[in-house]
Every structure is written in structure tokens, then in C-alpha cells.
Amino acid sequence: MSITKDKILESLKKVLYFPKANNVVDLNMVDSIEIQGNKISLNLIYPEANDKNAHIVKDAALRTLKADLGQELEIEIQTLSEQQAGRGPLGKVKNIIAVASGKGGVGKSTVATNLALALAQTGAKVGLLDADIYGPSMPVMMGLKGVRPGAVEEGGKTKIVPIEKYGIKMLSIGFFIDEGKALMWRGSMASNALQQLFNDAVWGELDYMVLDLPPGTGDIHLTLVQSVPVTGSVIVTTPQNVALADVRKAANMFENDAIKVPILGVVENMSWFTPAELPNNKYYIFGKGGGQVVANELNVELLGQLPIVESIAEGSDNGNPIVLDYQHPVSKAFAEIAKKLIEKVKIRNVQLAPTPIVQINPNASCATD
């Protein structure tokens, strides 16, 4: 019997994906069918990575295809999440990096912004999303105060168009709300607004999307990291006697079983003070070594240390992030952090790469028709 794509689909219509009480064909979960002699390969696409039903459904698909089309078939089924398969609103966003901290004021937004720009300077396509609903600072940091993003019609829906500046695409909750008002939002309102920035915006193809999360840990964080496929997180801290308990809380939020977002590294900000007139001097005014302590505690690498320099704060206030000044030593530090982060993401993606499961037919000699 000659095997066709239609016959495969007809057979797979008998395979149910029970969480949605429908078959895998009608749910549009079957993709990339290829036939070569008695070899078939195809992808099964699940809403999320680590779908608990994945192997059961895959086994059912293998059995059904063989029963219908011949036991001698060699069938290869690859399991992918919608994100891995390039589907969905963030389908073309390869990596999402969440920048987080145990507490506010440690320079999380400064690091997120400059890191996004440093990643873009490596030639990557980068997006920056200011998810700090209670203290959005990107409009000021990127020199976009008072700017309102535009909208386009796409597939019958109105979509937000991220603003492009300094070579990156960006959106901030600050573009949509009056200063101070967000503080009155209930958690669910904040979460919904954030979802829109992800799902109702035309982000297009991105190598990295950097997320500036609100400080601390709360419902908003949980909803966010559960609903968006975050690749990994970066924890920003200062060298002070850090409250390790706060950092642990942030780490637990990412690493708990339901979420499983790995921590890719720690960035220590405000590591020392270097006066402009004494560029070789370092004054450890906030203590020393806190970033390394945090990195050790979390069992990850300290990706870099950033000094306190006036031009960082000035750049943020004037909408000229420091890394735009290529010559500045801090730009070099950010370039180094970006490089290390890219490496960590690569390692992470190798760990996550879908493994094809090849079913070798033990009865290869007994062919049907």
C-alpha cells in the first residue's frame, strides 16, 4: 500500500489529545509530515514544553499509524512545543530573558536596558519589554517619554506596534498608563495588561527578548513566567550584605517544579565607585563580594560586575543608555556580560533541544501487502 499524507492524517484522526478532548489532527498538532519509502517522520506540537501527556499521545500515534498503514513502517515522531515550532504570538522570539531582583533600586532596569542594547550590538535582533508595572522606567531610560506606540490590523485584530529605537524594539506598560496610576491596579489588571504586551503586539522575529520584571516576587511574576516561555533569568544584586532570603525567594519562584525557568547568572551592580578624575581607583562603598555570595548560593556564574559611575545614572535620566558610548569601560563590561549570557543561553537550548524518538520495528520482515 502506498502511503500518502492524507492517509497519515486520516489515521491520526483516531489519536486523541485528551486535555482538549479532540483528535491531534483537528487540533492542528501534526506538522512537517515526510514520507520516504517505508519511513515516516512528523512533528507533534503541544501547547507547552514538558507536556505531561506528550509520550502517551506519541505512543498512541505510533501504534495507530502502524495498525492502519503497516507494521513494517519506521516512524519518527518529534515532540515540540508551540514555541519551539515557531507558532503563536511569540513564536518567532527565540529566547526570552527575564531580568529580576530580590528588591527594588538595585539597578534592574539599568541592567535590562543596557543588556538589551549590548545584545543588539552583537548583531542579534532584540526586543525589550518593561514589565515593571509598578515602576515602569523604560520610557525615560530610552528617551521615549510621552511617546505612544502605534497600532496595526492583523488577522482582524488590532495589534500594538513596538517602538524601535537604538536598534531594538521595545514596549513598556509606561506607554499606556499615567505615571503613578498603575500602583492602584489590582494584580489581575496588571497581569492582563502585561499579557497584551506579549500577545497583542507584533514582535516579529527576535533572537532575544529582555524582560524587566517588577522587583521581588508576587502574583504578577508567577502569572508571567507561567504564561510566557521564559528561557532563563538573570538576577541583579548589589554588593551589600544582601538579604539572601530575598534572593532565594526570587530563585525559588523561577526554579519551582511548575515553572522550571533556570537562572542563567547573577549581575552585581554598584560594585565599586570610580570617580571620573581617578579612573583607576575603586572604592567599595557598599561592601564587597555580595554578587559572588549570591551566585554561589544559587550555584550559577557571576556574569559581571558594574561600577557606580555618574554617567550611568545621567545616561538613564537623559534617555542615552551608557552602552551607546562604545568607548566607556562600562560598555565593555556589558559586552562581556552579553557574551557570557549568549553562551549560557546556547547551553540551555542544547539541553532543551527536542530529542527524536525513533521506533525501530521489531517485525521488520513481515511486510503487509
One-letter amino acid at 265 equals G
What residues are paired with 30 via a beta bridge? 44
CA distances from 27 to 19, 49, 76, 272, 312 (A): 11, 17, 20, 56, 50
Give every CB contact of residue 109 below 8 A, 6+ residues apart in sequence: 130, 132, 135, 137, 138, 141, 212, 316
CA-CA distance, 120 to 86, in Å (whole number)? 21
Q: By CB under 6 A, what part of segment 253-272 binds ligand ADP? A: 269-270
Q: Choose among Mg ion, ligand ADP, none what residue 231 binds, the Cβ cut-off being 5 to 8 Å by kind.
A: none
Counting Cα atoms < 13 Å in the Cβ hemisphere of 101 gives 23
Tell me: does residue 308 bind ligand ADP (CB under 6 A): yes
Tell me: does residue 306 bind ligand ADP (CB under 6 A): yes
Q: Is the Cβ of residue 50 or residue 318 nearer to ligand ADP in the bound state?
A: 318
One-letter amino acid at 104 equals G
- Return the C-alpha cell found at 264: 542563567
Tell me: does residue 305 bind ligand ADP (CB under 6 A): no
Q: By CB under 5 A, what part of segment 120-159 binds Mg ion? A: 132, 137
> Sign of the C-alpha dihedral, residues 320, 322, 328, 332?
negative
Cβ contact 249:102 at 8 Å: yes
One-letter amino acid at 76 equals E
Q: Is the Cβ of residue 229 or residue 239 nearer to ligand ADP in the bound state?
A: 239
- The one segment of 30-38, 102-110, 159-167, 353-361 that binds ligand ADP by CB under 6 A: 102-110
Tell me: does residue 211 bind ligand ADP (CB under 6 A): no
Tell me: does residue 233 bind ligand ADP (CB under 6 A): no
Tell me: does residue 237 bind Mg ion (CB under 5 A): no
Tell me: does residue 105 bind ligand ADP (CB under 6 A): yes
One-letter amino acid at 317 equals D
- Return the C-alpha cell found at 136: 515602569
**Four-point Cα dihedral 176, 182, 184, 185, nearest 10:** 70
Q: Choose among Mg ion, ligand ADP, none what residue 306 binds, the Cβ cut-off being 5 to 8 Å by kind.
A: ligand ADP
CA distances from 167 to 46, 111, 175, 314 (A): 33, 17, 19, 21
Residue of closest CB approach to Mg ion = 109
CA-CA distance, 267 to 236, in Å (whole number)? 5
- The one segment of 104-112, 195-203, 242-250, 354-362 that binds ligand ADP by CB under 6 A: 104-112
Per-residue binder mask for ligand ADP (CB under 6 A), 106-135, x = binder:
xxxxx-------------------------
Choose, by CB under 5 A, the member of 78, 83, 84, 109 that binds Mg ion: 109
Tell me: does residue 269 bind Mg ion (CB under 5 A): no
Residue 273 CB, nearest distance to ligand ADP (Å)? 8
- Return the C-alpha cell found at 137: 522606567
Q: Is the Cβ of residue 140 or residue 259 nearer to ligand ADP in the bound state?
A: 140
Q: Is the Cβ of residue 108 or residue 169 nearer to ligand ADP in the bound state?
A: 108
Residue 308 CB, nearest distance to ligand ADP (Å)? 4
Q: Choose among ligand ADP, Mg ion, none what residue 142 binds, the Cβ cut-off being 5 to 8 Å by kind.
A: none
Q: Choose among Mg ion, ligand ADP, none what residue 308 binds, the Cβ cut-off being 5 to 8 Å by kind.
A: ligand ADP
One-letter amino acid at 38 equals N
Whose cell is 497583542? That residue is 200
CA-CA distance, 191 to 340, in Å (whole number)? 31
Residue 189 CB, nearest distance to ligand ADP (Å)? 21
Tell me: does residue 110 bind Mg ion (CB under 5 A): no
Q: Which residues bind ligand ADP (CB under 6 A)?
A: 101, 104-110, 137, 215, 269-270, 306, 308-309, 312-313, 316
Q: Which residues bind Mg ion (CB under 5 A)?
A: 109, 132, 137
